[in-house]
């Protein structure tokens, strides 16, 4: 069984102008792409986020009643430390937008709350 994932969903959001996400782990995409190093090279994998945006991606082929498969989307929390990812994303966002006073103001408010 082939599982189709709509990659466009991520791309279109990525190109839009800076919006402060509710979730710094997946930036409201619901999915997190991470790289995993194996002896054959570095591969990109996906995991679903632990925030509400990630709920639609809680796919587990092993729990499907019909068309059982070994394929599933793991939770990012099982793979990496979500707090570290959030910190990295926040730092990158800050670097990208620090010249934008409006965004910085909203960001400070969000972090203070």
Residues near Zn ion (CB under 5 A):
23, 25-26, 49, 51, 53
Report in angstroms how near the CB of residue 39 gets to Zn ion at its nearest.
31
> How many other C-beta atoms are found inside a 10 Å radius of the C-beta of residue 74?
13
Task: Indicate the angle between helix axes 82-97 and 101-112, nearest 10 degrees.
Answer: 150
C-alpha–C-alpha distance, residues 103 and 99, integer Å: 9
* Secondary structure class of 31 (helix, strand, coil): strand
Q: Which is nearer to Zn ion, 22 or 109 (CB)?
A: 22
Report in angstroms how near the CB of residue 13 gets to Zn ion at its nearest.
12
Report in angstroms how near the CB of residue 91 gets to Zn ion at its nearest.
17
* Secondary structure class of 36 (helix, strand, coil): strand
Q: Which is nearer to Zn ion, 2 or 54 (CB)?
A: 54
Q: Which is nearer to Zn ion, 49 or 73 (CB)?
A: 49
Q: Which is nearer to Zn ion, 49 or 103 (CB)?
A: 49
In this structure, the chain runs to a length of 113
> How many other C-beta atoms are found inside a 10 Å radius of the C-beta of residue 11?
10
Report in angstroms how near the CB of residue 82 gets to Zn ion at its nearest.
8
């Amino acid at each position: 069984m082939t599982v189709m994932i709509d990659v466009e969903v991520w791309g279109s959001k990525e190109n839009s102008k800076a919006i402060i996400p509710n979730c710094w782990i997946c930036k409201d995409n619901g999915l997190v792409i991470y790289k995993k190093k194996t002896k054959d090279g570095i591969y990109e994998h996906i995991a679903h986020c632990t925030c509400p945006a990630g709920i639609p991606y809680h796919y587990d082929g092993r729990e499907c009643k019909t068309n059982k498969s070994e394929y599933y989307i793991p939770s990012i929390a099982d793979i990496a430390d979500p707090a570290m990812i959030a910190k990295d994303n926040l730092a990158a966002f800050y670097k990208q937008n620090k010249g934008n006073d409006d965004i910085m103001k909203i960001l400070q408010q969000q972090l203070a709350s």
